[in-house]
Amino acid sequence: MTAKNLDFFGSERFVAGVDFSGAKGNPNETWLAIGNLGSLGVQIVDLQRVGSHKLTAQIAASPPLLAIGLDFPFSIPVDFAQFFAKQRHMPPFQSWQELAMALAFVSFEEFTALIASFEKESKRFTDKECKPVAQSPLHRGNPSMVQMTFQGMRLLAGLDPKKFSIAPFQDADPAKCQLLEIYPSATLNDFRLQFRGYKSKEKKDRESMMAARKTIIRQLENLRETGDIALKDIPRLSMNPQIESSAITSDDAFDAIVACYTAAIFVIAPKHFTDPYENDNLDVLIEGWIYHPNKIWVPDKVRA
């Protein structure tokens, strides 16, 4: 969906969510969800499998976005970053921008060789702080995070700095679209919803996974209906039957919607998110931060 397609929304505000894939297929399973922020909450108005190769162009063709939630690691653990610098005969990195610039001159094969020689699978501070604990960006098993991290970081580094600010490395600017690292399972867990067991590549699990995603979508749409005061400033989530069907059918499409919804919550109620710097851990300047509404208290009845 292009900006031209969305002209009828006028001056309304938009956010987006991305479930990113590093797979070689063309297009791969990279999904983009667009949400319209209105007086009634956030409505998912578009959901497409765009493929990582067309993601940047598709974002550029979208209406002006306030924020995008992206489901991939924005960076690597600081101990591996400094190992990387040492192996490349460079001084220690002082910022994410320095790291991303250096990565631009490294091939994927060189990157994976460096990870293999590092001989450990470190986690970032934010990976360990997250609930559930996030997978290391250096994880080479199933699912592999290495290619996703490598391609994702290069994508971020290639975006126009006049139009985008990458949290938490760059200050928020109302004139720019803010990019947030999102972990859908963490958002679901914050709302005390099912955060595991809704995705599987096994054909025998297809029906049960689809049923799980359908249930979670209903629960997300009904968060405000609990009447709990803690949820009064959480935007209502809505989508049409066609988009819902895509999210139920594809776990990647589902995660893109959760990423979009998380971005919408951040725009409307940022108080529910931890400030990356309140932990006095400066590693986040290089490692980044996973944004999820962990400061919200959710009653047990939301599970119903």
Q: Is 220 helix (H, G, I), strand (E, B) or coil?
A: helix
Question: Residue 88 and residue 98: Cα distance in Å, rounded?
Answer: 13
Identify the helix (H) or strand (E) that includes residue 118. helix 108-118
23-32, 84-93, 132-141, 144-153: lowest mean pLDDT where?
A: 23-32
pLDDT at residue 86, rounded to an integer: 96
Q: Give 4-75+151-303's CATH code, choosing from 2.40.128, 1.10.287, 3.30.40, 3.30.420.
A: 3.30.420
Cα first-last separation, the chain: 35
Q: Is 295 helix (H, G, I), strand (E, B) or coil?
A: coil
Residue 42 identity (one-letter amino acid): V
pLDDT at residue 233, rounded to an integer: 87
Q: Which residues of 187-217 are buried (b: 16+ CB within 10 A; e: fewer)?
A: bbbbbbbbbeebbeeeeeeeeebbebbbebb
pLDDT at residue 9, rounded to an integer: 42
Question: Would you place residue 5 in the very low, low, confident or very high pLDDT band (cuts 50, 70, 90)?
Answer: very low
Burial of 9 (0-12, 13-18, 19+ CB in 10 A): middle
* % pLDDT > 70, the chain: 92
Query: Residue 177: how many CA atoms within 13 Å on its side-chain side?
Result: 24
pLDDT tens digit string along 153-177? 999 999 999 999 999 999 999 999 9
Read off the tokens for 205: 């699990």
pLDDT tens digit string along 90-130? 999 999 999 999 999 999 999 999 999 998 999 999 999 99
pLDDT tens digit string along 242-298? 999 999 999 999 999 999 999 999 999 999 999 999 989 999 999 999 999 999 876
143: number of Cβ within 10 Å: 13
Question: Would you place residue 4 in the very low, low, confident or very high pLDDT band (cuts 50, 70, 90)?
Answer: very low
pLDDT at residue 300, rounded to an integer: 58
Read off the tokens for 190: 């914050």
pLDDT tens digit string along 35-82? 999 988 999 999 999 999 999 999 999 999 999 999 999 999 999 999
> Domain locations in the chain?
4-75+151-303
Question: Would you place residue 199 in the very low, low, confident or very high pLDDT band (cuts 50, 70, 90)?
Answer: confident
Question: Would you place residue 230 in the very low, low, confident or very high pLDDT band (cuts 50, 70, 90)?
Answer: low
